[in-house]
Amino acid sequence: MGLDRLRALEYFVAAAQGGSFSAAARTCAVTVPAVMKSIAALEASLGARLFDRSTHGLVLTSVGESFLDDSRPALDSLSRAYEAATASNRRESGTVIVRAPQLFSRLILVPAFHRFHSAHPAIQVDLRPLEALQITNSDGAGVDLLFALGIPELVDLVQRPLAQTRLLVCASPEYLARHGRPQKPRDLNEHPCLQVRSPEGTVIDLWHFGRDGITENVAVSGYLVSESRDVILEAVLQGHGISRFADLSVWPHLVSGRLEPVLLDWSSLGPPVLSALYRAPSLRQPRVRAVLDHVAGMVRDLEAQCRARFPQAPPGGKSSGVQLRPGRMSKRVS
């Protein structure tokens, strides 16, 4: 029996047990189209339908029920044989290639991977920068894992949301002592707000806030715009102005007190989701799964700590993402 047919049997059993193609895709760590294509090919080779669709999901036909009863023991036996044959080769070792935004890498991933190394000394992490806000398929070429703020629309990568970040408006304590704290969003017009420009040339300069069902939009301005979030962060740390950051990306500076959030009684609308992206076969490698599980667990912990330490007001409206001043092209937050 060929590998394609074995894979189709695996997808078929998972779909029958889960009641849907999407459940099978999650179980087998592949895409829904891959499951549907394999099962369609299996049905064609058998010359019979295995599933009927209903409002409640997939329903096995009579042929499908018989085929499931005959297939499941064979697959279980093959699975046990595979586990036994690979048991001696399960040591998590080798190199995992990771791409992530530089600010997130420097402040979050570098210390995380230092701790990871203690538990997995045979795994090497090759950490590479990810700068583009609009991620393309080429960004995933030759990479095991991508970590991105926002969920890019990539059809050939599995996307796993890890945490919901929040956008915090921050300044240094020294800056706030000299210039005062903004009490409401429009007070930002009295402060230099340092802004990020995307590699595509987009300046993110229209900030959205919500509270108690009210939305306020502020077109911020300042003397410094940079494509590098590290540059903007360093300027804010030196007391040169105010900017806005995803909370998880600057968590160490929030904990140390070098960054102080303001306007916590308002919520910044349109915060990006922190996601992991990967090709399904990559996650079958123990070393890749170990890295992803470690980062995912760490991020969940940071998210909970940040919520507890810096509670924010519930948002007052909806925003599809960061928008720009009239006359400039809109871009998704990253």
The 3-state secondary structure of the chain reads CCHHHHHHHHHHHHHHHHCCHHHHHHHHCCCHHHHHHHHHHHHHHHCCCCEEEECCEEEECHHHHHHHHHHHHHHHHHHHHHHHHHHHHCCCCEEEEEEECHHHHHHHHHHHHHHHHHHCCCEEEEEEECCCCCCCHHHHCCCCEEEEECCCCCCCCEEEEEEECCEEEEECHHHHHHHCCCCCHHHHHHCCECEEECCCCCECCEEEEEECCEEEEEECCCCCEECCHHHHHHHHHCCCCEEEEEHHHHHHHHHHCCCEEECCCCEECCCCEEEEEECHHHHHCHHHHHHHHHHHHHHHHHHHHHHHHCCCCCCCCCCCCCECCCCCCCCCCC
| One domain for residues 260 and 226 | yes
Q: Tell me the average pLDDT across 106-128.
A: 92
Q: Which has more confidence, 240 or 334? A: 240
Please check the confidence at residue 203 and state whether its pLDDT lies above 70.
Answer: yes
CATH code (residue 196): 3.40.190.290
Nearest to 284 by CA among 167, 169, 111, 158: 158
For the chain, percent of residues with pLDDT exceeding 90: 46
pLDDT, position 316: 54
Q: Which has more confidence, 263 or 280? A: 263
Please check the confidence at residue 44 and state whether its pLDDT lies above 70.
Answer: yes
Distance in angstroms (rounded) separating the CA atoms of residues 294 and 180 = 40
| One domain for residues 19 and 60 | yes
Please check the confidence at residue 79 and state whether its pLDDT lies above 80.
Answer: no
Task: Note whether residue 331 is domain-resident.
Answer: no
- Confidence tier at 57 by pLDDT (50, 70, 90): confident
Least confident of 108-117, 195-204, 219-228, 255-264: 195-204
Task: Note whether residue 28 is domain-resident.
Answer: yes
Task: Note whether residue 327 is domain-resident.
Answer: no
**Residue 261 belongs to domain spanning:** 167-271
CATH code (residue 73): 1.10.10.10
pLDDT digit string, tens, across residues 271-330: 888 889 888 888 889 999 999 999 999 999 988 888 888 886 666 544 333 333 322 322
The number of domains in the chain is: 3
Task: Note whether residue 306 is domain-resident.
Answer: no
| One domain for residues 146 and 278 | yes
Q: Tell me the average pLDDT across 107-124.
A: 92
Task: Note whether residue 315 is domain-resident.
Answer: no
